[in-house]
Amino acid sequence: MNHSEHSHGTACACEHHAAQKSPAALLHHALEHATHYLPAQGPIGVFVHHNTLHAFQHMPFEQAVVKAAEIFDAEPYLSEQTYQEHRQHGRILDQDIDAVLAREPDAVLLGGRLTRRELRRVLLIPGVRRVNHGNLTWQIEEGNFLREFRHDLPPTAARALASDQPDRLWPVCTSRYKVAPVAAPQQPSRPAETVQESHGIALDEVVNPVLVRLVSSYLDQGLAYWPMPDREIGFLGASRALFTSTWLSDWPVLLRGIRGEFERLADQSAQDIVLDLLAGFGVPEQDWEALIRQELLSLPGWAGMIHCLEVDPLLAPHERPSFSLMEFLAVRLILTSVVLKNVTGSITEWRSHPVGAMAYHDPLTHQARLFDACQLLGYHSELLAGLSETEFDELCHELELCNEWERRRLLHLAYELRHERRILIPLSRHCAMPAVVEKSDRLEAQVVFCIDEREESIRRALEEVEPLIETYGAAGFFGCAVDYTGLDDPHGVSLCPVVVKPAHQVAEIAVEEDHSLGHVRQKARRTWAKLTRTASIGSRTLVRGTVSTACLGFLSLFPMAFRILAPLRFARIMEKLNAFFLPEPRTELQFMRNDDESRHATTGLLSGFSIAEMADRVANMLHPMGMTKGHARLVVVLGHGSSSLNNPFVSAYCCGACGGRSGAPNARLFALMANKSEVRTLLRERGIMLPEDTWFIGGYHDTCSDDVELFDTDLMPSSHATDLVKLRGKLDEARARAAHERTRRFESFNNHRSVSAALRHVKERSVHLGEPRPEYGHCTNAVAVVGRRSTTQGLFLDRRAFLVSYDVKNDPEDRYLAAVLGAVIPVCGGINLEYYFSTVDNERYGCGTKLPHNISGLLGVMNGYQGDLRTGLPLQTVEIHEPVRILFVVETTPERVLAVIHANPLLKEFLENRWIRLAAIDPDHGGIQVYRGNGVWEELSGDEEPLPIAKSSIDYYRGKSEHLPLARISPQLLTSA
Amino acid sequence: MNATALFFVILGLPLATFLLLGISWMLGFSAGEKCIGRTIKTIYSLMFLAFLALSWMLYQDADHSIEIHLGQWFVLDHYEYPMAFQWDAVTMPFAGLTIILSGIVGSFSITYLHRDPGFLRFFLLLVLFSFGALLVFTASSLDLLIAGWELVGITSVMLISFFQYRPEPVRNALRVFATYRVADLFILVSVFLAHQWFGAADWARFREIALDAGVAGVSPAMMTIFPILIVFAASGKSAQGPFCGWLARAMEGPTPSSAIFYGAISVHAGPYLLLRAEPLIRQSPLATGLLCFIGLTTAVLNTMMQRSSSDAKTSLAYASQTQLGIIFVEISLGWHTLALIHVMGHAIVRAMQFLRSPSMLSDYHRLHSGAGGELRATGAHYDRIVPDRWQRILYCFTLFRGFHDALWDRLLIRPMFLIVRLVEKIELSPSKNKTPRRAGTSSPELPVRAKRETI
């Protein structure tokens, strides 16, 4: 499903045709609409970050989060209490709140005695107390609610109230407040809503377990030993075959008659069954969509999984029976109707019980809020009693407008505003200062990393270790979208962003001399696989299990104890054993175009690249980064990935630009291409002057263990050997420093320990069986800087910024800017928004704590033994995240960046609906303009945020674990001063 | 060091840790993670050393049994509650397993539960569980064993509902709790009967009676009823026979608690009890037959359920039950050494598999690529040997876990509800105007969410 289709789903233009459509078409339409609300996460083996509220992206952010919160019963922002705590700790300043309020429309209230802004300001500073129906009675009877006024009142208010008493004010509030009429009861949208009230039985608790068992067995990718029978005839058919096979299926009390119902509907298609049951429920056509949506949202994880697999069956890693959401819905409705009949005796009766809004009707809270507001405003009881009817109503109305969600919205905007100023003001100060590193004749090396914000620390560390090394950031597939088959892989996988379909095939093979070794390895792997599989299945079955657990079980105590008590040592020994039993041959990539093979390929993929295609790819990467001349003798291209144990979410930590996999092969391929002399000849024609003595090396950076590996160094001319040794040493120093910086976030490591201890610690995390946070992933992402490294070089960005190398001087027509933004805004924006939503509501949008997770069907995780699939990010991944929308800082002029973004509908939607924030930094004088929407730019002014200067990164961060403000890392300046 | 002191180390350390942490928590001091982590590592290391020393003493001991009497807790008329422990060839492996596996799982959990708000609660329950389990394994009579038995049960339930803010864990924990209560009735009654009929409930007495039933006027009926009660009590703890439904429900807690309780120690308390009562069970063909029957049917049914389970932890839970069934059979056949070895091996393997269950995804993919992308399909022999129609019946049966919950629902829960309703009606009938109405239909308050278990 492409973006525009999806995002406009809820604002579908076909609404007005509805009247003329057939019931079947209407049903499909309703189902299609309902699917927009399902999570879009596929099987967890490939975790792709995307905007959790993708379906709402056509709406402005602030409206979308509220709408979604209503539909999903979720939180739109952090809690009010959290924001107030941030305010107390100086993370939100009063001036931010004032600035936010100043942007909101104002109004004159109470005949000029009050303005909306003044009212809202006191509701935010010092803020209202947390009262609700539940705790208010206690507050009144046991607490000081009616005994004294608040202690944190503004002085003027306190003076005004000096002669008044709370128990005089309170009666005025309660007696004058007009209780809003109870909302009229509504027609229920689905049976579960009323049966709970009328019969005390939660339908979902009966239907869901049965459905979860069926669907998890049906979708299972090979976890169960005995696959579900009849999978080839589809979910409906397989379920029907099971339920009708034996009278036992009628045995559960509330499922009585399920067999008959399946038999009655035996020869109908899923669609007919759904139509039949919708008619049976007595639901009119216009309410179908609501019913279907609510039914599907009762198990959003499983419904969403089926939907994802239906859209792209290739997402399923091993088993691909037919996936159909309609069949899922049909089975769900059959189960619902049977249970409903057993509970209420009829399947239409539920509609005659309207659902009251009783639970939400809570006048006492409003009265208490008014009481609070009067204190904050200094309105004593006589003043309040003296207000005219209309004035009093106006005050109440205004208070209700500034309800909890509204206050949280305002506080969130202030929270983001302070973040923006903490980034932009120091950045502009930094740009105004002279460059940290002076230009030299020739660089010692150039290292290209992924744009990933986790690479920011190692880039800075490398530049600190050796100022003559320059680093770059490019999307981690390095322009090489390939279908790659590694030496050990049974088939190819796509190494490129998920929206791209690779057209070229590349394979890793053992080099000529090591062919026999390669065979030995594969043979050993086959034997190992056979043994392990027999053992793991065997340990669970009846007979084999008896033999293996009784005879050999005891022996597994020693590796188990060793592994858990000394994970790092165990990993080292395992590595040695692996090297002995599974010898690794030297390998090469098969990447040259083979026309013969391409013609005969059944996959439709071209095998390898032609010289011109290679030159395209190399040029398309070097051009935007401005790497057209002045290359160093060594250029290293580092892909990244992440290794960890016992972690179903490992793919979420890998390279997003490589589809949730490791980008090592792409880096290796890129270097091989760039080293080809034919390619270089073509590059010269395009204005990229690669010197004869420049050599490219591909490599891999593990963001969890901070290991760095370089490939194909044996192909390098011997003249570069010393350069490489030097560079290797510096990379090692840099990765150790990066690891040390990373450990400041980990509570279990004392950051005052040495750099090498930190490196050991992160390595241990990556091999520890019981480590729920091998790394923090993208947890700190907040900013993306698109521009030259010189803008940010020497700036401590705290691993919070995606750094995209883009040289505006090289791009007069904004061609590269369009390409770069077209890729990075959806990718970085998607990552950022996924983290945002998983943080503000970890139970609804995220997948809760990792600790009880249970892998189901190799597709995802669920809680317990028959729950819903959980989508989104786990608590352990987002616990230190600051949920702010990502701030893009683009180094170009406001007009140019806006033109580029507006030319692309997707980017325009991202920007104009405020799902991202944007600022432009002038490439010539460093002035910063902030985008405020609707074409309005605002010049950055003010200087309340300082730019601390430190001698080295470690001096700045050591021993601190919180988010740190930007700092300038400048060894020379301090020593000379 | 003498044996008593070593016993104090083994039993006293977890209890003291529990009390210390618990009381300081109640007083408002909460120990930091580092402090708790160090304490856990220290006490399990000390307990391990004490275990080694005791085992060495046992090896040296002429009777191969170390007994410790600390007198009576209380004496009531003819009844006395003995505080007596023993360490012999059956105790040693069970206690050793408890200490070693709790230590390893404890060490795993220090990292795994890092920063979880329930960190302290988890370790409180873990040490209390260790104390309970060690009490079960070292007690020399049923009276004392029950105390440990109940502690194991209650800590197990509280760890299932560890994530108490979500309804499912709490609901499942309640179900497990109810199952435990029913099963515990059997052991409770058996203690009363043992005192009534045999005069005492310690292992030595069981052996005496088994040797010569006539000695104390023990009738054949007594010799049948008592072992049967014990068999049911053990079945409850080990999720066998009529109680085989709860183990999968117990998978709501954090992974390490699943490992220590349902992979390793708690479920093996059943076989331990059987091994202790084995001399008596052997005397009754009916009890022996029942034990064998329960074990065998559970093993056969559960291996099929295991094969159709499509999630990691349920699959392991049913695999555990299968092996426990086999262990029951082994005990019924009198192969108690084999049973003992089987318990050890099984507990260790299963604990490790539970701890590694989040890896199942990557393990499978590695296997898949290791085998060159072609894994031999499993379960194909069902296609060959079972006719199509029976395949479906069997699959339906296993997928819905033998309709076990429905059975309980029909046989126990619904009749109970009916009785309760009837009583309610009788009680309220005199005042006609106060007929019990379901909440929500007439009350202006929030509707009472009366939830009921079904399926």
- State pLDDT tens for residues A910-924: 999 999 999 999 998
Question: Which among A228, A530, A857 is the nearest to B395, CB-wise?
Answer: A228
Contacts of B359 in chain A (CB under 8 A): 645-647
Q: Whole-angstrom Cα distance, residue A710 to residue A731?
A: 10
Find out whether A304 and A40 touch, Cβ atoms under 8 Å: yes
What does the DSSP 8-state code read for residue A437?
Answer: S
CA gap B102, B259 in Å, rounded: 10
Q: Is the pLDDT of residue A968 over 80?
A: yes
- Output the CA angle A361-A364-A370, nearest 5 degrees: 120
Residue pair B270/B238 in contact by the 8 Å Cβ criterion:
yes
pLDDT reported for residue B437: 41
Q: Which residue has the higher pLDDT, A362 or B196?
A: B196
Per-residue pLDDT at B385: 85
Segment 368-387 of chain B within 8 Å of chain A by CB: 368-379, 382
The per-residue pLDDT for A498 is: 84
Rounded to 10 degrees, what is the CA torsion of A102, A103, A107, A108?
Answer: 10
Using CB atoms, pick whichever of A202, A556, A768 lies closest to residue B349. A556
Q: Which two tokens stand for residue A47?
A: 């975790």
Q: Is the pLDDT of residue A29 over 70?
A: yes
Q: Looking at residues A77-98, what average pLDDT do you find? A: 96
> Quick check: B454 contacting A, CB < 8 Å?
yes
- Is residue A3 predicted with pLDDT exceeding 60? no
Dist. CA A498–CA A451, nearest whole Å:
17
ipTM, 2 dp:
0.93
Residues 248 through 307 of chain B touching chain A, CB cutoff 8 Å: 248-249, 251-256, 299-300, 303-304, 306-307
Q: How many whole angstroms separate alpha carbon A209 and alpha carbon B28?
A: 41
Cα first-last separation, chain B: 56
Residue B413 lies in a domain: no
Q: Indicate the length of chain A as a whole number.
A: 977
Contact status, residue B10 vs residue B98, Cβ threshold 8 Å: no
pLDDT in tens, A478-520: 999 999 999 999 888 999 988 888 999 999 999 999 999 999 9
Give the domain range for residue B102. Answer: 3-360
Handedness of CA B240, B242, B248, B252 (dihedral sign): negative
CA dihedral sign of residues A909, A912, A918, A923: positive
Query: Is-contact A966 A798, C-beta < 8 A?
Result: yes
Structural domain includes residue B265: yes
Of A201, A528, A540, the CB nearest to B370: A528
C-alpha A702/C-alpha A435 separation (Å) is: 30
For residue A772 the two structure tokens come to 């729920």
Q: How far is A518 from chain B (nearest CA, A)?
A: 13
3 state SS of B444:
coil
State the pLDDT at residue A789: 93
In the prediction, which pLDDT does B1 show? 62
The encoded tokens of residue A666 equal 């792409």
pLDDT at A88 over 50: yes
Residue B367 maps to a domain: no
Is residue A773 within 8 A of residue A743, CB to CB? The reply is no
Inter-chain residue contact A564 with B166, CB threshold 8 Å: no
pLDDT at A721: 95
Strand order in the sheet with A795-796: A795-796, A967-969, A949-950
What SS3 class is residue A845?
A: coil
Residues of chain A contacting residue B112, judged by C-beta atoms under 8 Å apart: 770-772, 851
Asked whether residue B149 is domain-assigned, the answer is yes
pLDDT of residue A4: 38
> What is the total count of domains within chain B?
1
- pLDDT per position in chain B (455 positions), as tens? 688 999 999 999 999 999 999 999 999 988 889 999 999 999 999 999 999 999 999 999 888 889 988 888 888 877 888 889 999 999 999 999 999 999 999 999 999 999 999 999 999 999 999 999 999 999 999 999 999 999 999 999 999 999 999 999 999 999 999 999 999 999 999 999 999 888 888 899 899 888 886 666 788 888 899 999 999 999 999 999 999 889 999 999 999 999 999 989 999 999 999 999 999 999 999 999 999 999 999 999 999 999 999 999 999 999 999 999 999 999 999 999 999 999 999 999 999 999 999 988 888 888 888 888 877 778 777 778 888 889 999 999 999 988 888 888 888 888 988 999 999 888 887 654 444 444 333 333 333 333 332 22
Least CB–CB distance from A771: residue in B111, B323, B397 = B111
> Is B437 within a domain?
no
Q: Which of B358, B389, B438 sits opposite A853 (nearest CB)?
A: B358
- Give residue for tokens 């073509």: A682
Q: Taking CB atoms and an 8 Å cutoff, what residues of chain A touch B411?
A: none
Q: What pLDDT does residue A503 have? A: 92
Residue B440 in contact with partner chain A when CB distance is under 8 A? yes
Instruction: Output the average pLDDT for chain A.
Output: 91
Gap between the Cα atoms of B157 and B180, Å rounded: 9
Name the closest residue on chain A to residue B302, using Cα atoms.
A542
pLDDT of A13 above 50: no
Closest CA to A96 of A124, A66, A64, A65: A124
State pLDDT tens for residues A395-425.
Answer: 999 999 999 999 999 999 999 999 999 999 9
The reply to whether residue A560 touches residue B375, judged by beta carbons under 8 angstroms, is no
DSSP assignment, residue A79? -
Chain A and chain B share a number of CB contacts under 8 A equal to 330
